[in-house]
Amino acid sequence: MLKLTRRHFIVSGFTFLAAHRLRSSFAQVERPNRPLAIASANRITLPDGTVYYNGIRATERAFQLMRAGSDPLDAVIAGVNIVEDDPHDMSVGYGGLPNEEGEVELDASVMHGPTGRCGAVAALRYIKNPSQVARLVMEETDHVLLVGEGALRFALSFGFKKEELLTERARQVWLQWRRQRSERDHWMQNKLPGALRSALPDWDWRQFTGTINCLAITEAGDIAGVTTTSGLAFKIPGRVGDSPIIGCGLYVDNEVGAAGSTGWGEDNIRVVGAHAVVENMRRGMSPLEACLEALRRVVKLYGGRPAHQLNFYALNKNGEYAGAAIFKGAQFAVTDARGSRVEDSAYLFERPPQ
Answer yes or no: 335 catalytic: no
Catalytic residue, candidates 45, 59, 141, 211: 211
Do the Cβ atoms of 192 and 146 come closer than 8 Å? no
Closest CA to 322 of 296, 283, 289: 289
Region of residue 291 (left: phi > 0; alpha: psi -120 to 50; beta: else): alpha
Q: d(Cα 11, Cα 16) in Å, to the nearest integer?
A: 9
Tell me the catalytic residues: 211
